[in-house]
Structure 1
Amino acid sequence: MDRHTIEPRPGWQATVEAQGLIYPLTRYPDDSLRPYWDESAYYAFSLPEVEALEEVVEELHRMCLAAAAHIVEHERFGDLGITDPRVADRVAESWRRRDELPSLYGRFDLRYDGTGPAKLLEYNADTPTSLVEAASPQWFWMEERFPGADQWNSLHERLVDAWKRQAALLPPGAPVHFAHSAGDELGEDLMTVAYLRETAEQAGLDARAISVENIGWDRISGRFVDEGYGFIRACFKLYPWEWLVTDAFGPHVLDTLDNGGGTGSTLWIEPAWKMLLSNKALLAVLWELFPGHPNLLPAYLDGPRELARTTGYVAKPLLGREGAGVTVHPAGAPEEPRDEPCCYQALDPLPVFDSNHVVLGAWVVEGEAAGLGIRESAGLVTDGYARFLPHVIL
């Protein structure tokens, strides 16, 4: 794993925008615009390196499924902040019927520097983003800049194949609605959902776009409907489950949740059992079940324990996104009590390449390793100001 600087392509911004990345720039607090898509450098991997990482990712996914099974079997929903018995029951039912429910993808965030074992930082298993840039623009960048090279990137083909294989799990004859939030000002959610809708259409599905805000509730029929009052029988949503079940329509979601084989109900993709994996408490359960595993960092829910004086720790809100609420505590620093439930994970600072902190985003589709996206940040926490860099296998 090496970082190399390179001259960006002339007109790169227009190029990646035409490929679906309509948010190539990030606005900073000083009102300046700087590249989010950053092709002034790239990362190079060897094939054995990538093959080893693929094995790690698939093993981590299997371990996460084992942790989910443990949470359901031992009814540890409270550790995840799921305190509503109805929500817990629906999640447990969804887990037990998971073979009947469509589930596409997820993204592991890994600490890796090319020398030691990759370490799991978190699993984005419900609403992962950075998919468009990982699947499309970086592939076309490689073809233009490094013809004949390769890339850890089979995302598009695997997503299309996943829709084909899972079509039998969808309500027969019903279109699949693809929902994003209209409150997304950057366009990232919009384009992520549009891209996934395109993969579904290429698989032969009837796919229709809708915003979450335009999903209606028909009180007479007791169903969710689209703008034309058509019954929403199946819906992919880039909208977190923890928001969905607590919104004003949350009770209707629970009442009509299709957990496999139901009629007159709505099938949501990703399924409700993904709430078990998209929660930072998963990290602590993993460490409890697989203590000392080379690809895990020690993590706890009841406080930092020995981490406060040994490695230091990172406090992560159970449902935080893009680094929101994450705090870093070096070893020996005074502990700072948190008012919200957190996961306390050992501090293993991100590796630094040319003064940039680097995190790997490794994708899985149907549980199989499918691609890589790399983000760089100025600080230890990968936040909304991180930049996306392409990679190649040389």
Structure 2
Amino acid sequence: MRKITLPERPDLAAKAEDAGFTFAHMHGEPYWDETSAYQFTLAQIETDLEDPATELHAMTRQAVDRIVGDQALMAKLGIPPAHFDLIADSWARNEPEVYGRMDLAYDGTGPAKLLEYNADTPTSLYESAAFQWQWLEDQLAAGVLPEGADQFNGIHEALVERFKELFDPNTDIHFSAMPDTPEDYATVESMAWAAREAGMGAHYTDLNKIAISKNKQFLDDQDRVIGTLFKLYPWEDMLADDFGKHVKDSGCLFIEPAWKAVVSNKGLLPVLWQMFEGHPNLLPAFFADDVAEALVAGGTPDPAVADAFGRVADQIRAAHVVKPIFSREGASISIVEGGDVTETSPNTDYDRHPRIVQAYHALPEFDGFRPVVGAWIVGHACAGIGMREDRSRITQDLSRFKPHFIAD
């Protein structure tokens, strides 16, 4: 794994405009940055990223099966008691999942470590699936990349096949996001593009224009009944507002399904550690309330987790990350080293939520930036990656997207 300086395409601005990539620059800085790219070997991709991410996804499904059968555990994950049955029934009915993005720490040498799994509303899909592939083709044609260079990017094709697998031809699917959010719209349109290619009918409607019929069905902005809805709206928010109380009786199939509320949730991380302690791609993680006393000199954790915590106590006390069970773009996350908070996100939007404690694992540093690998899961397998990098040790909303390529 190397970071290689490369010339930017001379017509980059025009290409971004033609593609509708309106957020290639944000907040006065480039979001898409192709002045350099990350180079991987094929072995690094296949052995260190693709296979482990696919295995981790299978492990998360085992964790879901455990969580939905334990109401106390669902409560720890912040699921409102009124919706316990909705989550459990969604899993029992095997409501289908389409996609998710695992954020991995990887430096090219050791096992990739799972930092978190956004399995409900991951963005950066367009950049990963489409624009970085265009970059690869253009830079190969220009002779900038070595002949035979490739990219781990079968995301779009995998999405097309997933829609074909799940739905009959001509099935109408609605796609929805909040208005005036270009990044969200790009993700939604990327999904709709794949659905159309798979032979589906794809209809967009703003989330805030969805209505409820007298028959308790969801309606789009043209009063059409919504039978299947891809919604870029987190389940934790939906279950907490008025929208959520109508889900159960709506007859609507949701993408992603309701059971993803316990996967796109940092409470998943301590459950995974409990079930697969010592797995090379996991970091030790615990619910903060379970180990609060243990993080104070002389304290003792809850007896149920005492043994597990004791095996990694020195590692956790030396450095750990405190994360809310719900958080986006690094918000409300802190790094604690030697008992002192050494870095924290300026965004405190998720401070109200319970927290987990996860062992700190340093991201590699290249030219003052720290990359995170976003491993895209489509169906049940890893289909590609996207790279984001940040100057901060906490990847936040001002991170940059970087293309990657494979060349041995």
TM over 0.5: yes
Q: For residues 267 and 61 of structure 1, what CA distance do their matches in structure 2 show?
A: 22
Q: Is the 8 A contact 1:308 1:329 kept in 2?
A: no
Judge conservation of contact 1:143–1:149 (CA < 8 Å) in 2. Answer: no
1:279 aligns with 2:276: no
The two structures have a TM-score, normalised by structure 2, of 0.87
In 2, Cα distance between equivalents of 1:292 and 1:173: 46
What SS does structure 2 have at the residue aligned with 1:353? Answer: coil
Matched residue SS, 1:352: coil
Q: Equivalent residues in 2 for 1:66-105 (5 A)?
A: 66-75=62-71, 76-84=73-81, 86-98=82-94, 101-105=95-99
SS in 1 for 2:397: coil
Q: Distance in 2 between matches of 1:222 and 1:340?
A: 31
Q: Does residue 319 in structure 1 map to residue 329 in structure 2?
A: no
1:167 match: 167
**Which residue of structure 1 lines up, in the alignment, with residue 306 of structure 2?**
none
Give a deviation string over 1:323-380, Cα, whole Å, max 9, x none: 01011111232799x7631111011121111211111001010011101100110110
1:343 aligns with 2:365: no
Contact 1:244–1:253 (Cα < 8 Å) also in 2: no
Which residue does the alignment assign to 1:379? 392
* Paired position in structure 2 for 1:260: none
Shift of 1:10: 1.2
Q: Using a 3 Å threshold, how does the CA distance of structure 1 residues 51 and 329 change in structure 2: closer, same or farther? A: same
- Aligned residue among 200, 205, 208 for 1:210: 205
Instruction: Find the aligned partners of 1:162 and 1:125 in 2 and give their Cα distance.
Output: 16
Which of 60, 63, 80 is 1:64 aligned to?
Answer: 60
Following superposition, the deviation at residue 228 of structure 1 comes to 2.0
1: CA distance, partners of 2:367 / 2:269: 30
- 1-side partners of 2:352 and 2:172: how far apart? 44
Give 1:248 deviation, angstroms: 2.1
Tell me the CA shift for residue 115 of structure 1. 1.0
- Structure 2 residues without counterparts, runs of 5 or longer: 142-147, 295-312, 345-350
Q: With structure 1 as the length reference, what TM-score do the two structures score?
A: 0.90
Q: CA deviation at 1:102?
A: 2.9
Q: In 2, distance between residues paired with 1:216 and 1:374?
A: 37
- Superposition deviation, residue 109 in structure 1: 0.2
Residues 150 and 392, structure 1, Cα contact 8 Å, conserved in 2: yes
Most deviating of 57-66 and 141-150: 141-150
User: How many angstroms apart in 2 are the aligned matches of 1:104 and 1:349?
Assistant: 31
Q: In structure 2, the residue corresponding to 1:231 is in which secondary structure? A: coil
Letter in structure 2 aligned against 1:385? L
C-alpha change, 1:339 and 1:363, in structure 2 (3 Å) is closer
1:386 deviates by 0.2
Identity of aligned residues (%): 43
Q: Deviations over 1:272-331 (max 9, x none)?
A: 011111000000101111111111111110246436864311111111000010111112
C-alpha displacement of 1:107: 0.5
> What amino acid sits opposite 2:197 in the alignment?
Q
Root-mean-square deviation (Å): 1.8
Q: How far apart in 1 are the matches of 2:369 and 2:178?
A: 32
Asked if the contact 2:98/2:162 (under 8 Å) is kept, the reply is yes
| Structure 1: stretches of 5+ with no match in the other structure | 28-32, 257-264
Q: How many residues align?
A: 371
Which residue identity lines up with residue 273 of structure 1 in the other structure? W
Deviation at 1:139, TM superposition (A): 0.6
Q: CA deviation at 1:249?
A: 2.5
Deviation string, structure 1 residues 19-65 (Cα, Å, up to 9, x no partner)? 342210120xxxxx110000010011111111111111011111111
What is the match of residue 14 of structure 2?
14
1:16 CA displacement: 2.5
Distance in 2 separating the partners of 1:266 and 1:111 = 37
Task: Please report how far the alpha carbon of residue 105 of structure 1 lies from its aligned counterpart in structure 2 after TM superposition.
Answer: 0.6
Instruction: Give the equivalent residue in structure 2 for 1:30.
Output: none
Tell whether 2:256 aligns with 1:243: no
1:176 is the counterpart of 2:200: no
Q: Secondary structure at the match of 2:229?
A: strand
Aligned equivalents of 1:365, 1:314: Cα separation in 2: 28
Pairs within 5 Å for 1:278-317: 278-301=264-287, 302=289, 303=291, 305=294, 306=313, 310-317=317-324
Tell me, what secondary structure is at the counterpart of 1:146? helix
